[in-house]
Amino acid sequence: MIQLATMQQGHACDVLRIYGEGLQTGFSTFNTEVPTWEEWDRNHLPHTRIVAIENEEVLGWVALLPVSSRACYRGVAEFSIYIATRHRGRGIADRLMQAMIEESEANGIWTLQSSTFADNTTSLRMQERHGFRQIGYRDRIAQLHGVWRNTILLERRSNLF
């Protein structure tokens, strides 16, 4: 049975391994290297870090990054979600997304954002199922492995604020 839990430092190796699997797909990020745990930890908000676990194995995770250091944007965050390759298609991302939405609101986040590759239709559909709407399109915004890529900006505004 899949359980959701607060991410702990003991999950670091699994979190970074799963992130590395996401990098290999070419559909998840412009980053090309897996950060150290210290870098990852420093770049993410201290709250709303959730892992999906089954039989003590981390299957996926979700966490938030600040969009700005300005105080007026303290309630706006970008989310990052990754599922281990062999566990995709099991509904884990949907469970993590719902938990992330609830926990982020409990921590004062009023807007969640993402920048998703335009050809990552699976992620786009999942976000739309959870109330995200497309707010922008960035044509040829950056290159990944020498190929210009387009991204779609999505956001979800909380009804609580």
Average the pLDDT over 100-120 and give the result: 98
Euclidean distance between CA atoms 1 and 61, whole angstroms: 16
pLDDT at residue 2 tops 90: yes
CA gap 86, 90 in Å, rounded: 10
Mean pLDDT estimate for the chain: 97
- Rounded to an integer, the average pLDDT of 21-34 is 92
Q: For residue 27, name the pLDDT band (cuts at 50, 70, 90).
A: confident
pTM for the whole structure: 0.95
* Residues 46-66, mean pLDDT to the nearest whole number: 98
Domain boundaries in the chain?
Answer: 3-112
- Domain 3-112: top CATH class: alpha beta
